[in-house]
Amino acid sequence: MPRPAAVPLQVVVRLTDVPGTWNDAPLVVGLQSGSTGSGATIVPGDPDGDDVVFEGAIDVRPTADGAPDFFGPLVHGPRGARHLYVTWARVEGGTHAMFRRLKLYLTPTVRAAWTQPGVSWDQVHTGRVAASVSGRGPDGTPHCGSAEARWG
């Protein structure tokens, strides 16, 4: 049986209250494209006051059981745990030194402090999903780990 055609999906992430420095070093924040290491790049966002807005395109295909599955250079993780990485880097000597990442899950996810439903086929068929997440963690530093992303 031929593989189902990919459905394009535009993702928009608004990172609110973004810190501009870390230990007196300027910060760059963006979506990680590609694998960690020399193949990874940071896709910058557009500043909007204290916020930064990121936009990117991904592809969606059904899994064997019909659930949405996500693909493309911006998508990371195994099937059933697909996510975007918001990546933090220090600017050191003209280069970007990646030091923290924040996972924003596209798939249904359950954590101790939160549960999110993930992106549905109804949302995929609109062609665009968006989420807003704080750029600061509970301790005020650049947000890392994973965060609830309510895609709408």
26-65 residue pLDDT tens:
888 999 999 876 677 888 899 898 899 999 999 999 999 9
Q: Which pLDDT value is given to residue 3?
A: 73
Answer whether residue 94 shows pLDDT above 80.
no
Mean pLDDT value across residues 111-115: 90
Using 50, 70 and 90 to split pLDDT, how confident is the model at 73? very high
The predicted model scores a pTM of 0.91
Per-domain residue ranges for the chain?
7-147
Residue 37, pLDDT score: 64
Helices vs. strands in the chain: H and E counts, helices first: 1, 13
d(C-alpha 86, C-alpha 27), whole Å? 13
